Chain A
Amino acid sequence: MKVLVCIKQVPDMESRFKANSSGNWYDEADLAFRMNEYDEYAVEQAVQLREQLGDAADVTVLSIGPDRVVEALKKALAMGCDRGVHVQDPAVSLKDPWQIASIIATYAKDKGFDLIFTGMQSQDRASAQVGVAVAEQLGYSCATTLVGFSFADGVVTAKRELEGGLKGVVKLRTPALVTCQLGLNVPRYPTLPNIMKAKKKEIQAIPVVDILKEEALAATASVYPPARKGGGIVLEGDLNDMASQLIGILKEKTAVVR
């Protein structure tokens, strides 16, 4: 059983963001990068499947981006993936989801992966397109937004999250691709011995030009901060001062605090 997990590295969302000088993405200076939250669930699920199947399974983790993404790959290897693939692309942020999907699909095409895991979306771009587009380009069956996953006899049973707490259960035959939602599992922390072991695992480097075959279908016109709605009161400073100011405001503006 061959398994592929696709991961992205994204900035910490609590950072302060500003547009870059070309106005087509955010400025990456001073940002700390980490594995996309949704992808951590994808890696964990792939590793759990590997544990279920033992050495009959082999898990490849792939990431596209500049050299910094090797850190995310190393984390996935330390979590239990078998091998890594780094598609080297310093300009990854300017590619549209269709191109990203085509890069993955071109890589995966002749490799015979039975199952592909991705996050349901990235935290920065949040298009929620790449996983499904990979499945379409490869002709795989696909289910998105998984909060439950099981695998037996070549069939995936997937619990999809719908709205308001409702879930939908579907069965898919392999080859299949699934996109993972928050809460699917509890991603493990890499242990020190596993971090050491991961250092010996192979990370294959592929220059993006070797496997990018598609033009972009959409283009970013501009990136800018949202207009401040304003109006809201901002309280800063001493804790007790703020607490009494807040209570004053609530007494005046709401009928429920007296």
Chain B
Amino acid sequence: MKALLVCEYREGKLLETSYELVAFAEKLGAEKAMVLIGSESEAPKVNGTVYLADAGKYGEYNPDVHKKIVLAAIERENPDYVAFVHSSFGWDLAPRVAASLKAAQISEIVDIVDGKFEVGVCNAKLRRTVTPKSGKAVLTIQAGAFSAAAASGAPQLERIEPADGASALEFVGYEPAEKKDVDLTRAEIIVSAGRGVGKKENVPVIAALAKAMGGELGASRPVVDAGWVEHSHQVGTTGQTVSPKLYVACGISGAIQHLAGMKKSDFIVAINKDKDAPIGEVADVLVVADVLQFAPALTAMLQK
């Protein structure tokens, strides 16, 4: 069994998550080869073949061109599986490769169970195992689900080229993250507001709790998207990754993109009216309550 692992590279750097693919291939018991659209100096430190297409020539991510490069590597390697990390790169490129091969795609794999691929359903409230019915299969793995393999080894580089460089899409450039007015990564205590706080007018209730605890205010994404709290307070894959001594999640369900940003916190408290909310999976203490009633009670007691 062979797996072709597609590295992710951005602005001149190999992303470390590429090593999670190596760990996944090991768990799968597959022989691995990798493909990188990047520079030689950033090639992953692994033993085995690394197909390399030069980023100087093929640039930052362009799905049409990068698809053709991955297909060229597939033709050379003839793998059973083609694996990506489920990221803005992986979920964009994987379905294009799968469609070209007419192969099954299984998205955001969290584990391998009896040789089947396990994925989440309904915000991870259920699990599902999936099997491909096609000869080859394209897989994306959940970021963080497979702990990265050590970077040790010397790759054997093989140059590859796309069939052609045509694209209907033009990459214009990057827009950096908004300036931060708080650096949550330095906070020892973070108290975050989620959609469960209900409306903007209730955010001060959570801010008051944060203040009483001596911490900073954090937020889940919907709260930021709705304009209740500034983006600089957002915790998660598209916000900040934090690991405070204490994290208090108020009315936050615990979607993987939020968990990815806070699950390494030393101690986690969740306040949620839903006893089954996925945040319970990572919480050291789950307080089953209406946060709009519980937070003021807790604040008052802390102030005594």
Contacts and interface: CB of A to CB of B under 8 A. Distances in A.
Contacts of B287: 235, 242, 246
A249 B298 CA distance: 13
Given A14-B253, A221-B129, A221-B130, A173 B168 contact: yes
Interface string B111-148: 00000100011111111111111100100000000000
Contacts of A254: 245-246, 266-267
A32 interface: no
Interface in B150-184: 168-178
Contact of B128 (A129, A141, A220, A250): A220
A98 B104 contact: yes
B122 A124 contact: yes
Given A163-B87, A163-B88, A183-B225, A250 B238 contact: no
Contact of A141 (B64, B100, B127): B64
Given A97-B105, A141-B168, A226 B127 contact: yes
Interface string A2-15: 00000000010110
Interface band, chain B: 35 or more
Interface in B259-304: 266-267, 269, 274-277, 280-289, 293-294, 297-298, 301-302
A38 to B, nearest CB: 12
A213 to B, nearest CB: 13
B8 to A, nearest CB: 10
A166 interface: yes
A contact face: mostly helix, strand, loop, or mixed: mixed
B32 interface: no
A159 B122 contact: no
B237 interface: yes
Interface string B7-19: 0001000000000
B102 interface: yes
A63 to B, nearest CB: 19
Nearest to A171: B170
Contacts of B88: 144-145, 160-163, 168
Contacts of B174: 162, 166-169
A33 interface: no
A178 to B, nearest CB: 11
Interface stretch (A48-56, A65-73, A131-139, A204-212): A131-139
Interface in A78-126: 96-98, 120-121, 123-126
A252 to B, nearest CB: 10
B2 interface: no
Contact of B298 (A121, A225, A246): A246
Interface stretch (B20-28, B42-50, B74-82, B89-97): B89-97
B184 to A, nearest CB: 12
A253 B267 contact: yes
Nearest to A96: B104
B239 A165 contact: yes
B38 interface: no
Interface in A144-197: 144-145, 157, 159-173, 176, 182-183, 186
Given A168-B174, A171-B172, A256-B245, A13 B122 contact: yes
Contacts of B60: 168
A128 B168 contact: no
Interface string A236-253: 100110111011011001
Contacts of B280: 232, 234
B44 to A, nearest CB: 19
Given A128-B107, A172-B169, A235 B281 contact: no
A245 to B, nearest CB: 9
A218 B102 CA distance: 11
B246 A257 contact: yes
Interface string B226-263: 10000100100111110001100000010000000000
Contacts of A142: 63, 96, 169
B4 to A, nearest CB: 18
Contacts of A29: none
Contact of A234 (B170, B225, B253, B286): B286
Given A233-B285, A243-B301, A246-B269, A129 B124 contact: no
B221 interface: yes
A255 B283 CA distance: 17
B108 interface: yes
A129 B91 CA distance: 7
A184 to B, nearest CB: 9
B204 to A, nearest CB: 19
Nearest to A183: B225
A127 B238 contact: no
B98 interface: yes
B188 interface: yes
Contacts of A220: 128-130
B199 to A, nearest CB: 14
9 contacts: A13-B253, A16-B276, A132-B92, A132-B99, A163-B88, A163-B237, A168-B60, A217-B105, A218-B137
Given A124-B121, A246-B269, 6 more contacts: A19-B126, A121-B91, A163-B238, A167-B174, A168-B171, A235-B288
